[in-house]
């Protein structure tokens, strides 16, 4: 068995920090083939290459070091299959979460784009498609603190911050609209 490779050479060959290799040694995940008793230099051979390749592969799949250590302790195909199946389920859950986050980002960017092109000096009546909303009937004027009203709406509906971040709209009574009063709102609502 050739053990001609120093920790620095191994780090370079596998594009991995020396500190990581030292940590793997500390936790017993990848021990060197030999350690010089005088200099304490670590030396590695091809058996460690195979093990490090496996560690890197499993880490690339997102497996934590503890699970990788469990795999090496058992070295069973059923253990690897179970670990990968569990990891696959976790990745699928993360993908669903990230897809929802991406959708929220896309929606927010579209809202920002719409707001940037809006004419704020003109009142217009638009018809929106039917959608879910929550509302709080509470008088509100532009000089009032809208965050307080939003906090009350959140508390009333039990909506979480993640769900709550949406399109906030102010409500006007029909009489106020007909009278041309657009600065006294009857309440606030959140469009989903």
Mind listing the pLDDT tens digit for each residue in 31-70? 999 999 999 889 999 889 999 999 999 999 889 999 999 8
User: Where do we find the tokens 């299959």?
Assistant: 81
Q: Is-contact 56 16, C-beta < 8 A?
A: yes
Three-state SS for 17? coil
Start-to-end Cα distance in the chain: 65
For the chain, give the longest Cα–Cα distance. Answer: 92
110: closest CA among 118, 122, 120?
118
pLDDT for 162 equals 47
Which residue ranges of the chain lie beneath pLDDT 70? 1-3, 159-167
């Amino acid at each position: 068995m050739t053990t001609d490779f120093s920790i620095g050479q191994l780090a370079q060959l596998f594009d991995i920090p020396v500190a990581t290799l030292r940590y793997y040694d500390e936790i017993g995940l990848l021990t060197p083939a030999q350690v010089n008793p005088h200099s304490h230099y670590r030396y590695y051979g091809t058996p460690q290459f195979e093990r490090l390749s496996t560690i890197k592969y499993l880490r690339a799949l997102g497996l934590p070091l503890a699970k990788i250590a469990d795999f090496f302790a058992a070295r069973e195909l059923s253990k690897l299959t179970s670990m990968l199946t569990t990891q696959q389920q976790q990745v699928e859950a993360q993908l669903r979460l990230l897809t929802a986050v991406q959708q929220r980002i896309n929606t927010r960017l579209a809202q920002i784009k719409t707001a940037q092109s809006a004419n704020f000096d003109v009142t217009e009546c638009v018809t929106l498609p039917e959608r879910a909303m929550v509302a709080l009937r509470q008088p509100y004027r532009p000089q009032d603190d809208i965050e307080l009203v939003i906090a009350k709406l959140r508390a009333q509906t039990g909506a979480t911050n993640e769900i709550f971040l949406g399109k906030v709209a102010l409500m006007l009574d029909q009489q106020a609209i007909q009278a041309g009063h657009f600065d006294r709102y009857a309440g606030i609502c959140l469009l989903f």
